[in-house]
Amino acid sequence: MYCYVARQPIFDRQKAVTGYELLFRDGVDNCFPNVDADEATSKLITQHHLLLGVEKITGGKQAFINFSADTLIHHFPTSIDPKSMVIEILETVPISDELLTACKELHKMGYRLALDDHDFDAKWDVFLPYVSIIKVDVRMFNMLQISKYLRRIAKYPVTLLAEKVETADEYEQLKQLGFDLYQGYFFARPEMLKHKQLGSNKLNLLALISESSKVRLDFDGLAAIVERDLDMSYKLLRFINSANFARKQCIGSLKHAMVYMGEAELKKFISLLALANLAEGQSDELLVMSLIRARFCDRLANIRGDTENPPAAFLTGLFSLVDALLEQPLQELLAQLPLLPSIKAALLENKGILADYLAVERTFEQGLWQQQTELSSRMVPDTVDLNLVYFEAVEWGQRLLTVQQH
């Protein structure tokens, strides 16, 4: 599943991009879907901001996002950093005391408010002390009407943004009237962006990844997350069984199972389960390769005595193909994951001992036997046969994939 968003750039007087209006889309056709404003805003936030962050979509520039009355009154915008966003109040929003109170509170919290497609109606004047930007659809009014209105509100320190600017003449006239920001086909049409969409159950997985990167686990918190997902609970118990743990006692609860596994093994399980589910629908081969890499790097680290918590070698191997699995740039993906700096350095810059572990694994993967012999001799004593370690990792990866699928 993919989710889509269109972004239309907003320019200043020097025609430099200062921000983007983000427009919800539900498919590759670049048009607004037949959904109400509340649903569009909710999906824009959950599908794009919570997964990527609006800063990623806008390249660090400000995002202009439409909000309806209900989403404003219930403080939907507060999930986004005030420095990253301008809140656009739709022209169709009914005025109420609740809306005015919400705008005052958002303004006090540091959010910038914009009146979208402003119709010059005096009923909006009570909002102007809390408004930073007024957006005017220049297709709806002639220049004389716009000029008269601007004189009436001249006492308010608002920034003027002209929408639907289509010609160079309009641009020059609007500059003379005092507009500082511009948007429209004269500059650029909205461009489509898409990325992998996470279902609601996968938000639990992101929470689990975050937990697995901590030095000390909160077993109660983890159990509460897993208990919300029957599939995840089942796979946890299957993993305990498949991983050859000593099974001398019956497991009475999920928390009991987690404690029984131990922190290091539990963190591995969390990470591999998360990656497998985030990559749902992709090639099994990529996932198996990720599991093999994780197991091999982890075993090599243990042979060398590099036992860490969190298990950094395991996570390095596991996430080494995450860009191919999720079809997104590796740097952007890793920026969203709370992995150790050493893991990110290995994956992004090929630096450190973790990168060396991964390099050895790749020689087996690619059949580079001379290079494998050279790298292995620098890593482990001659008495250690890494061929056996690799074969065991292959068997482990195949077995774990079966657990994930059932």
The pLDDT tens digits of the residues spanning 263-290 come to: 777 777 777 666 666 666 555 667 778 8
Quick check: 193 pLDDT over 60?
no
Q: Within this chain, do residues 110 and 148 fall inside the same structural domain, yes or no?
A: yes
Q: Within this chain, do residues 44 and 134 fall inside the same structural domain, yes or no?
A: yes
Q: Which residue intervals of 249-283 are DSSP H helices?
A: 254-261, 263-278
Contact 82, 112 (CB under 8 A): yes
Q: Within this chain, do residues 222 and 179 fall inside the same structural domain, yes or no?
A: no
Q: What per-residue confidence (pLDDT) applies to 370?
A: 87
256 Cα distance to chain centroid: 32
Quick check: 26 pLDDT over 50?
no
Residue 80 region by backbone torsions, left for phi larger than 0, else alpha for psi between -120 and 50, else beta: beta
- CA–CA separation, 360 and 296 (whole Å): 9
Q: What per-residue confidence (pLDDT) applies to 346?
A: 93
Q: Within this chain, do residues 93 and 164 fall inside the same structural domain, yes or no?
A: yes
Helix (H, G, I), strand (E, B) or coil at 120: coil
Percent of the chain with pLDDT over 70: 67
- CA–CA separation, 114 and 88 (whole Å): 5
Q: Within this chain, do residues 188 and 77 fall inside the same structural domain, yes or no?
A: yes
Lowest mean pLDDT of 133-137, 268-272, 349-353, name the range. Answer: 268-272
Full-model pTM: 0.46
- For residues 45-74, average pLDDT: 66
Q: Within this chain, do residues 204 and 334 fall inside the same structural domain, yes or no?
A: yes
Q: Within this chain, do residues 101 and 222 fall inside the same structural domain, yes or no?
A: no
Quick check: 46 pLDDT over 50?
no
CA angle 140, 141, 146 (to 5 degrees): 140
Q: Kindly indicate the confidence band of residue 71, based on its pLDDT and cuts at 50, 70 and 90.
A: confident
Quick check: 248 pLDDT over 80?
no
User: For residue 233, what are the domain limits?
Assistant: 200-405
- CA–CA separation, 163 and 125 (whole Å): 20
Q: What per-residue confidence (pLDDT) applies to 160?
A: 93
Number of domains in the chain: 2
- For residues 38-43, average pLDDT: 45
- Residues in Cβ contact with 82 at an 8 Å cutoff, skipping those fewer than 6 apart: 109, 110, 111, 112
Among 165, 196, 227, residue at a domain's last position: 196
Distance from the first to the final alpha carbon of the chain: 21
Question: What's the residue count for the chain?
Answer: 406
Q: Within this chain, do residues 288 and 351 fall inside the same structural domain, yes or no?
A: yes
Q: Within this chain, do residues 140 and 258 fall inside the same structural domain, yes or no?
A: no
User: Residue 21: phi, psi to the nearest 5?
Assistant: -85, 125
Contact 61, 18 (CB under 8 A): yes
Among 163, 178, 196, residue at a domain's last position: 196
**Of residues 34 and 80, which shows the higher confidence score?**
80
How far CA 153 is from CA of 2, 134, 143, in Å, comes to 44, 11, 16
Q: What per-residue confidence (pLDDT) applies to 405?
A: 52
Q: Within this chain, do residues 245 and 360 fall inside the same structural domain, yes or no?
A: yes
Instruction: Report the number of secondary-structure helices (H) and strands (E) in the chain.
Output: 19, 9
Q: State which H helix or E strand residue 161 sits in.
A: strand 159-163
**Of residues 213 and 104, which shows the higher confidence score?**
104
**Among 282, 292, 66, residue whose Cα is nearest residue 163:** 66
Among 139, 174, 196, residue at a domain's last position: 196
Over its C-alpha atoms, the chain yields an Rg (Å, rounded) of 27
Q: Within this chain, do residues 174 and 28 fall inside the same structural domain, yes or no?
A: yes
Sign of CA dihedral 233, 234, 237, 243: negative
User: Residue 251: phi, psi to the nearest 5?
Assistant: -90, 125
Contact 54, 98 (CB under 8 A): no
Q: What per-residue confidence (pLDDT) applies to 387?
A: 85
- Domain holding 41: CATH number? 3.20.20.450
Q: What per-residue confidence (pLDDT) applies to 210?
A: 62
Helix crossing, 284-303 with 263-278: angle to 10°? 160
Q: Within this chain, do residues 272 and 336 fall inside the same structural domain, yes or no?
A: yes
- Domain holding 358: CATH number? 1.10.3210.10
- CA–CA separation, 394 and 295 (whole Å): 8
Average pLDDT score over the chain: 75
